[in-house]
């Protein structure tokens, strides 16, 4: 592939990611450009879009649960430390 053609394809792909990122932002999908690019690539390589969306939702749910557990443990540790000082 000639360098000029490769640059044009890369520019078109970047423009598509930019447009899709704007749409994702409007829809509050909370996907950064890198994550969105990975999802696009996976779909282009045959991954079922609905299944991918379900996996992303599940991973987010697990991430939120882990953050909540961490925050709860930190609060409990701080409370225990405060109680011991008295």
Question: Which among 44, 36, 30, 31 has a CA at the least distance from the CA of 14?
Answer: 36
Question: Which among 13, 62, 68 has a CA at the least distance from the CA of 41?
Answer: 13
DSSP 43: H
| pLDDT for the residue 16 | 92
pLDDT above 70 (res 85):
no
Q: How confident is the model at residue 4 (pLDDT cuts 50, 70, 90)?
A: confident
Per-residue pLDDT of 7-52, as tens digits, reads 898 899 899 999 999 999 999 998 999 999 999 999 999 999 999 9
pLDDT above 80 (res 86):
no
């Amino acid at each position: 592939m000639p360098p000029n053609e490769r640059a044009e394809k890369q520019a078109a792909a970047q423009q598509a990611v930019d447009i899709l990122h704007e749409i994702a932002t409007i829809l509050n999908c909370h996907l950064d450009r890198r994550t969105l690019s990975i999802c696009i690539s996976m779909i282009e390589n045959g991954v079922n879009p609905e299944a991918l969306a379900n996996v992303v939702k599940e991973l987010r749910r697990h991430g939120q649960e882990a953050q909540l557990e961490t925050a709860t443990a930190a609060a409990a540790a701080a409370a225990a430390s405060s109680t011991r000082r008295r």
